[in-house]
């Protein structure tokens, strides 16, 4: 494909402006890191002071025993709510705990919890916000879940015929099969690409980042190359850019361009919607059939130097900028 394929997606700002943006982003990141370290230091100091008070009073600063439920919990049992805070014991919501354990994103983990398949210290919990600590016994379908301290970020150039899920009950190939040798951590894909869609896919065990990237409010940008069964007419091109109303609501691309000047059946489209199969449904609504769909960019990440079916770890700088991208966006939006 010619180098001019995606000229309409390129940033036309000057190099000086870009450098200044980068310097500002770098300063902001350093400031956030310093503030985070200060908060962590203050929290640890407070926990240590509390522990000293407990020892001075003759006590032992350990987790108090949880009161056993009055009746044997069942799948339909009500969640144990209103648990008292435990001084000096860091806690987090149950759905976040599962996300850090590599089960799924925080949103997906919340749905799993509501199904009544998660137990905390033997009691069924159906409230995603229920507070737990690392010392609690958390089990999903009787399998113990342990949060991971080592966060992993993998970029995969997904090929066709692979399901974007951690496992498949029908025994079909999944994207996890392609990165199985990369890490022992329980990673999962962020968002979905359907079976026949190829391109950039992020896999991680960072539940917090996955939650941000998958949430519609963050409007994460994606760029796709679409090959249609026929050339896209100027009338339909303008119609798509003006906005199209599908069965689940209106959709307007952020940008649209002919990716190949000699072949108007190859289209580049930038979009931020996270709706299911949105690109395919958009063109099908206009009377076209999508022969090939390839995601060439996701949240600033591209598949450059990553062959189809191969993967690589994200660089530390990429992870920082990925997190900063979302923080900056939400602050600007607010």
Strands 255-260 and 249-251: unpaired
How far, CA to CA in Å, does 245 sit from each of 18, 135, 253, 279, 287? 36, 50, 12, 13, 14
Q: What is the pLDDT of residue 39?
A: 79
Question: What is the DSSP code (8-state) at residue 200?
Answer: E
E strand or H helix at 214: helix 207-214
| b/e code 296-310 from CB counts within 10 Å (16+ = b) | bbbbebebeebeeee
Does residue 246 carry a pLDDT above 80?
Answer: yes
Most confident of 176-190, 261-275, 281-295: 281-295
For 174-185, what is each residue's pLDDT tens digit? 999 999 999 888
Which residues are known catalytic residues?
Answer: 194
Q: What is the pLDDT of residue 321?
A: 79
Does residue 9 carry a pLDDT above 70?
Answer: no
Does residue 5 carry a pLDDT above 90?
Answer: no
For 39-85, what is each residue's pLDDT tens digit? 777 888 888 777 777 777 766 665 544 444 444 444 444 444 434 44
For 143-167, what is each residue's pLDDT tens digit? 888 776 678 999 999 999 999 988 8
User: How buried is 259 (Cβ within 10 angstroms: 0-12 exposed, 13-18 middle, 19+ buried)?
Assistant: buried
Give the mean pLDDT of the chain: 81
Q: How confident is the model at residue 125 (pLDDT cuts 50, 70, 90)?
A: very high
How far, CA to CA in Å, does 62 sit from each of 55, 219, 286? 10, 43, 64
Q: What is the pLDDT of residue 2?
A: 45
Q: What is the pLDDT of residue 113?
A: 94
Is the C-alpha dihedral spanning 148, 153, 157, 163 positive or negative? positive
106-120, 228-242, 313-327: the lowest-pLDDT one:
313-327
83-87, 223-227, 228-232, 271-275: the lowest-pLDDT one:
83-87
For 81-111, what is each residue's pLDDT tens digit? 434 445 556 788 998 888 777 677 778 889 9
145-159, 196-210, 317-331: the lowest-pLDDT one:
317-331
> Which residue shows structure tokens 């997906």?
108
Tell me the whole-structure pTM to 2 decimals: 0.59
Length of the chain: 334
Which residues contact residue 219 at a Cβ distance below 8 angstroms, ignoring those fewer than 6 apart?
272, 329
Does residue 239 carry a pLDDT above 90?
Answer: yes
Q: How confident is the model at residue 323 (pLDDT cuts 50, 70, 90)?
A: confident
Q: What is the pLDDT of residue 238?
A: 95
User: How buried is 121 (Cβ within 10 angstroms: 0-12 exposed, 13-18 middle, 19+ buried)?
Assistant: middle
Q: What's the rounded mean pLDDT across residues 227-254?
A: 93
For 298, the 3-state DSSP assignment is strand
Q: What's the rounded mean pLDDT across residues 9-16?
A: 56
Q: What is the pLDDT of residue 73?
A: 44
């Amino acid at each position: 494909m010619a180098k001019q394929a995606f000229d309409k997606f390129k940033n036309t700002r000057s190099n000086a402006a870009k450098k200044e943006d980068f310097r500002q982003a770098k300063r902001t990141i350093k400031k956030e890191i310093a503030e985070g370290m200060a908060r962590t230091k203050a929290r640890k100091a407070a926990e240590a002071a509390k522990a000293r008070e407990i020892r001075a009073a003759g006590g032992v600063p350990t987790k108090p025993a949880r009161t056993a439920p009055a009746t044997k919990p069942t799948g339909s049992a009500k969640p144990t709510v209103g648990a008292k805070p435990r001084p000096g014991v860091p806690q987090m919501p149950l759905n976040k705990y599962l996300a850090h354990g590599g089960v799924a994103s925080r949103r997906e983990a919340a749905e799993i919890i509501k199904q009544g398949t998660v137990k905390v210290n033997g009691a069924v919990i159906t409230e995603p916000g229920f507070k737990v600590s690392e010392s609690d016994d958390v089990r999903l379908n009787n399998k113990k879940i342990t949060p991971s301290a080592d966060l992993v970020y993998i970029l995969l150039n997904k090929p066709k015929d692979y399901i974007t899920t951690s496992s498949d009950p029908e025994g079909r190939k999944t994207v996890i099969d392609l990165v199985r040798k990369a890490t022992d951590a329980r990673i999962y894909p962020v968002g979905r690409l359907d079976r026949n869609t190829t391109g950039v896919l992020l896999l991680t065990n960072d539940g917090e980042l996955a939650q941000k990237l998958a949430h519609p409010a963050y409007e994460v940008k994606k760029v796709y190359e679409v090959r249609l069964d026929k050339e896209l007419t100027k009338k339909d091109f303008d119609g798509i850019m003006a906005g199209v109303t599908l069965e689940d609501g209106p959709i307007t691309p952020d940008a649209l361009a002919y990716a190949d000047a000699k072949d108007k059946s190859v289209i580049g489209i930038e979009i931020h919607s996270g709706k299911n199969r949105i690109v395919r449904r958009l063109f099908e609504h206009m009377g076209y059939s999508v022969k090939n769909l390839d995601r060439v960019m996701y949240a600033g990440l591209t598949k450059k130097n990553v062959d189809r079916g191969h993967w690589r770890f994200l660089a530390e700088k990429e992870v920082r900028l990925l997190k900063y991208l979302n923080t900056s966006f939400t602050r600007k939006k607010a």
